[in-house]
Structure 1
Amino acid sequence: MSKTQTALVVVDVQESFRHRPYWKEAGVSRFAERVQTLIDGARERGVPVVQIFHVEPTGVFSAASGHVRTMEGVKVEADVQFEKRSHSALVGSGLDVWLVQRGIGRVIICGIRSEQCCETTTRHASDLGYEVDYVTEATLTWEMTDRKGRVWSADEIKARTELVLDGRFATVVTVEEALARAEEQAVAA
């Protein structure tokens, strides 16, 4: 049985966010379409799909809330699921062990929130030696206000994330580029 060297990591695409005060519908349908295209493309190419859920002891991220489930509008047929309790999907979840056991050296990162758990997982994966494709268009975030009162739009936050990740911690790619790169690597393996 041949193994792919790439895995798709779907970070925190869960209903919990819909119940946070910053939730806005703007951008959600486009995100859902792009992340679904990425998930479906990975499945078609035999790339393992890893689903990560963020879980906390209380609140909308607690298992008891009923919101720690795949976000409506997205269908994930995961090869494996992990729960995390920190920003990086690689801390205490078992994900790193799973990747190492399968000889996976490249991860494709998508999910919610662009600048938080997706960016943190990307940096951590890079530090651990993984090659990382960061798919900005398959990430979602919302506007934020900084300590000086400036409001940063979701697009500005995504642009800043691309700036600090690309060429340092990851290669920033589109959905189609991520899938093509995964396919090329599988053929080369």
Structure 2
Amino acid sequence: MTQPRPALLIIDMQQGMALPQAGIRNNPQAEANITQLLATWRAAGQTVIHVRHMSRTPGSLFWPGQRGAEFQPAFLPLDSETVFEKNVPDAFTHSALERWLHMRGIRRLLITGVSTNNSVEATARSAGNLGFDTLVVSDACFAFARADYHGTPRSADEVHAMALANLDGEYARVLTTGQALTLLAED
């Protein structure tokens, strides 16, 4: 028995993420991979959900009304697609996302976006804890370089890899764009 096709969840693909102030990142191909998934999901008439971070911190790149808070042009939602706004990393917190998914019988999520160790990880952890069949697309996410708890600088690739390791097998299954595309071919 095959599983239902997952809804595509695109997290925080906003203009501020593309600005130099956002930091040094990995996965320069992430946008192309998300675009490919988005086009495929749309062509198949599958559910697409967009999440946008709206900061509560004045001066933030994602403060409401700022250009950085707007979606990147390649990821503008269609009128038929749902948008959830959040002001914490987890897309399930203080939103109606869980209820919206349950009301539509959606039990599988394919998560993409930014940043892997923040909003993607927080959302995937909640999705897994809430019982959703959660899939995270490793090459359709990216992270930013940062220092670890001990102050040791970590590259964006290291931060990304650790976040994926935190998720894989515990809260979600991590796969590639190629593997995700095969999900729509399954009967």
**Same fold per TM (> 0.5)?**
yes
* Deviation sequence 1:121-178 (CA, Å, 0-9, x none): 0000001110011001001111111243311111111211222211111111111212
Letter in 2 for 1:178: A
Runs of 4+ in 1 over 4 A off after TM superposition: none
Give the share of equivalent positions with the same residue, in percent. Answer: 27
Q: What is the CA distance between 1:75 and its match in structure 2?
A: 3.1
Letter in 2 for 1:107: L
Question: 1:32 and 1:80, CA in 2 relative to 1: closer, same or farther beyond 3 A?
Answer: same
SS in 1 for 2:183: helix
RMSD across aligned positions (CA): 1.9
TM-score, scaled to structure 1: 0.86
Q: What is the CA distance between 1:179 and its match in structure 2?
A: 2.5
Per the alignment, residue 55 of structure 2 pairs with 56
Q: Which has the higher helix share?
A: 1
Per the alignment, residue 86 of structure 1 pairs with 88
Aligned length: 180
> Is the aligned partner of 1:36 residue 2:38?
no
Letter in 2 for 1:10: I
TM-score, scaled to structure 2: 0.87
- Give ranges in structure 1 of 5+ residues lacking alignment: none
Per the alignment, residue 161 of structure 1 pairs with 163
5 Å-filtered alignment, 1:1-189, equals 5-19=5-19, 21-24=21-24, 27-28=27-28, 30-57=29-56, 58-59=58-59, 60-72=61-73, 74-78=74-78, 79-184=81-186, 187=187
* Aligned mates of 2:25, 2:155 — CA distance in 1: 14
Question: 1:22 and 1:63, CA in 2 relative to 1: closer, same or farther beyond 3 A?
Answer: closer
Stretch of structure 1 that moved more, 111-120 or 84-93? 84-93
Stretch of structure 1 that moved more, 43-52 or 131-140? 43-52
SS in 2 for 1:137: strand
Question: 1:164 and 1:25, CA in 2 relative to 1: closer, same or farther beyond 3 A?
Answer: closer
* Aligned mates of 1:99, 1:140 — CA distance in 2: 25
